[in-house]
Amino acid sequence: MQINEKVYGPDHSHVAITANNLRQGSETLGELREARKYYERALKIDEKVYGQDHPNVSKDVNNLGSVLKNLGELKEARKCFEKALKIGEKIYGPDHPNVAIVANNLGSVLADPGELLEARKCTRGL
């Protein structure tokens, strides 16, 4: 990451890719707070580089939602999954496999606090 930041600058897409790679190692090691920092860094860069409605941003927000869910921050995870779903539906349409994955993730967060009717809506047609 330090090399990419030095060569490309701190807000380059290569730095976001590196942050995503580092988060994977952090998650594997169970270092969820560290993984969250990497997800947030990648998201910030990708939003700046690509704009709000880009597939990379949808992926970053979905991934951040997953780590937030694992940290027990369900309200924030829900917001992330809802944002990722909105972007995915706009880019791919409602019947795309990437959209189904995010809808499933959203459903899992809704099911945790007991919002089963909302969760069921997320899985309809999947």
| Cα within 13 Å of Cα(63), Cβ side | 23
Split at pLDDT 50, 70, 90, the class of 63 is very high
Determine the pLDDT at residue 119: 56
Distance of CA 33 to CAs 24, 38, 66, 79, Å? 12, 9, 12, 18
**Domain extents for the chain?**
2-123
Task: Give backbone dihedrals phi and psi of 93, rounded to 5 degrees, phi first.
Answer: 95, 165
Superfamily of domain 2-123: Tetratricopeptide repeat domain (1.25.40.10)
CA pair distance 18, 4, nearest whole angstrom: 8
Split at pLDDT 50, 70, 90, the class of 109 is confident
Mean pLDDT of all residues belonging to the chain = 89
Kindly state the tokens that stand for 91: 């880019």
pLDDT of 117 over the 60 cut? yes
Over residues 41-55, the pLDDT tens digits come to 999 999 999 999 999
